Amino acid sequence: MVRLSSEILALAVGLLPQLVQGAGLNTAAVAKGKLYFGTATDNPELTDTAYVTQLNNTDDFGQITPGNSQKWDTIEPTQNTFSYTKGDVIANLAKANGQKLRCHNLVWHSQLPSWVTSGTWTNATLLAAMKNHITNVVTHYKGDCYAWDVVNEALNEDGSYRESIWYTTIGPAYLPIAFATAAAADPNVKLYYNDYNIEYSGSKATGALNIVKLIQSYGVKIDGVGLQGHFIVGSTPSQSSQASTMAAYTALGVEVAITELDIRMTLPSTDALLAQQKTDYSGTVAACVATKNCVGVTIWDWTDKYSWVPSTFSGQGAACPWDENYVKKPAYTGILTALGGTATSSTTTSAVSSTSSTSTTTSSGSSATGVAHWGQCGGSGWTGGKTCASGYTCTYFNDYYSQCL
């Protein structure tokens, strides 16, 4: 039996009322016919026990994306020497939880090791290196990934091709060749083109549409377009605009997904900014809900504590649905509402109902078959359900909180 230290247990008990709220975002997304609601994560935060508790909560997260550990500089730091340790940690975590894994990414202009960026290449030698990398990585993770972001961010803002080492050495054919190589290594995995600022109509979205057509013109498989969704509070494209753009992609016979959603604000955070952020998150998720072949939504980490935004955009942050203390923000409720669920507040237990479900979850976290895994089942003043669903036990933490574990 593993015993937690008193310090870790105290921390976990202090956070559990905020971290565990019964039915959540993934439950609601699946009830709406989507495959998942998920989050990105990265290896450094996996040492944070309270963080991992929520990451493992499949009521909220049915899918995980490795933020950095499958990128080229991590996996192939020297030519033809592959290191999968970090990526495997996240892949194994997702597998243990029964969560889908969106694998990210195979070909990108950034986070390349120096042997790639400083090498002396010809068309033939760079193609060989690219195909070798893709074949090794996709083969290693064969059967683990729902999808691969095969090519990431190949476009400039005007829709022209980015002057990456891939484009300048190989030309646009590197895209269909990359997709064909990935398909050969794992014929069953979904293959995506992934980019930002392609969520609304304009030159860059047109460029993304042209990439899909290019790959298809080679007779090569492309299954989806990933819309990253790195937005700014108050400047997020409208729900109708996003839905219209998604429809343009799906009209080409591919699925779409929101792959890296966060909505940042100029700090400090205020009630007005949080309210607008809630609206922006809700509209974006609702666009996916309204699009038949939008399969799911991934947020780019779930807590402000580990967001990439503050270190990248000076003076900006607070981009995630949970704050840095793991408390749900109004954005959480906005997402849940867009997915057809309801919540009494941004930090209280949510409710989701579905005609396809075997039981109906109430705002107290109870159901016809008992309180769900992770739900509250007791404590001073608790008036909700006190019997856990089959397989779980109501576990006492303190006089104010017991939980189904």
Separation of alpha carbons 137 and 250, rounded Å: 28
Please provide residue 291's backbone torsions phi and psi, each rounded to the nearest 5 degrees.
-105, 115
Peptide bond into 268 cis (omega under 30): yes
In what helix (H) or strand (E) does residue 342 lie, and over which residues does it extend? strand 342-343
pLDDT in tens, 5-28: 434 334 443 444 344 344 699 999
Whole-prediction pTM: 0.81
Render 170-197 in DSSP notation, one character per residue. H-TTHHHHHHHHHHHH-TTSEEEEEESS
In the numeric block, which tokens belong to residue 360? Answer: 């109906």
Task: Report whether 379 contacts 401 (CB < 8 A).
Answer: yes
Separation of alpha carbons 297 and 204, rounded Å: 21
Task: Catalytic residue, from 76, 199, 255, 260: name it.
Answer: 260
In the numeric block, which tokens belong to residue 22? Answer: 């019964």
Separation of alpha carbons 81 and 150, rounded Å: 20
pLDDT of residue 339: 96
Q: Helical H runs in 32-82?
A: 49-55, 72-75
Tell me which residues of the chain have a pLDDT lower than 70. Answer: 1-23, 343-369, 371-384, 395-405
76 is annotated as an active-site residue = no
Question: Which residues, in sequence order, are CB contacts of 144 under 8 Å at separation 6+?
Answer: 91, 94, 95, 101, 103
Separation of alpha carbons 158 and 302, rounded Å: 31
pLDDT of residue 403: 60
pLDDT in tens, 239-269: 999 999 999 999 999 999 999 999 999 999 9
pLDDT of residue 379: 58
